[in-house]
Amino acid sequence: MKINQFAFGAIAAVAASTSVIATAKADAVQDIKTKGVLVVGVKADYPPFGSLSPSGENIGIEPDLARNLAMRLGVKIQFVPVVAANRMQFLEQGKIDVLIATMNDTPEREKIVDIVQPDYYASGYNVMLPKTIHITSWSQMQGVPMCAIQGAFYNKEVAEKYGAEPVAFTGVAEALTALRQGRCNAFVYDDTAIEGKLQNPTWADYDMPLPSQDPKPWGIAVKQGEPELADFVSKSIIDWDKTGYILSLETKYGIKHSSFAEQMHAKYK
């Protein structure tokens, strides 16, 4: 009987401990309010979505979204620079509270972190062309030599679907040099990265005139097991879409309104 009582006591203690842990995770929003700061992982090398100003300030669409979250919570904002190789690990390790860093929403990543719904943005592939080349539709890409990056999934699609002729290079710098030298007439790449390049005055004679293709959604992530924080972020995203806040940030940072942002605004307004 004593053994049974001991066992019962141990089970009760484990259950109570588990409950405390679950409560602590569920109270992530209150924890952030208590410490008075929201720590957000953002890119520092991906304009106009996340970069550093000459004075070292985090600027771009995603830092502005992070600041909006902090404002809604009534706390200060702290940025932590992340890259693709460490962004989810930083979230798992508790180094950041929220991740807003150009991350595609994929089933594999959803097993590691909690990707909040709805998705907040999307990127597809597009082409950067000299303004002297007057192409207004993808059908006109037939036979056009196109600088591309080795291994990019869209190389095959632009060749088979639009008849373009990809010329593959090992990296972005090599591909852009070839574009400058006229070894190809266009550069196919992620549309959001092209937007960043076009903001650089050295590419003032180039444009991205075509509609983006095959958009992939981007998600904001929180650590698994923090439902209150995920719910707060979800409601914030819906409000951004409803009010057109993301569209206004595209305008602020000098990029064209994306089809995804327009569609989400139409859905929730």
What are the structural domains of the chain?
2-120+219-268 (3.40.190.10), 124-215 (3.40.190.10)
What pLDDT is recorded for position 43?
96
What pLDDT is recorded for position 20?
41
What pLDDT is recorded for position 4?
52
Sheet holding 58-59, edge to edge: 45-46, 50-52, 58-59
Model confidence pTM above 0.75: yes
Put residue 131 in one of left, alpha, beta given phi > 0 → left and psi -120 to 50 → alpha.
alpha
What pLDDT is recorded for position 95?
97
For the chain of 269 residues, list the mean pLDDT of each consecutive stretch of 10. 48 45 64 97 95 96 98 98 94 97 95 97 96 95 95 92 95 94 96 93 95 95 97 98 98 93 96
* Cα distances (angstroms) measured from residue 113 to each of 20, 91, 94, 109, 263: 21, 8, 12, 6, 26
- The position carrying tokens 């959803």 is 110
3-state secondary structure of 91: helix
What pLDDT is recorded for position 126?
96
Amino acid at 103: M
Put residue 217 in one of left, alpha, beta given phi > 0 → left and psi -120 to 50 → alpha.
beta
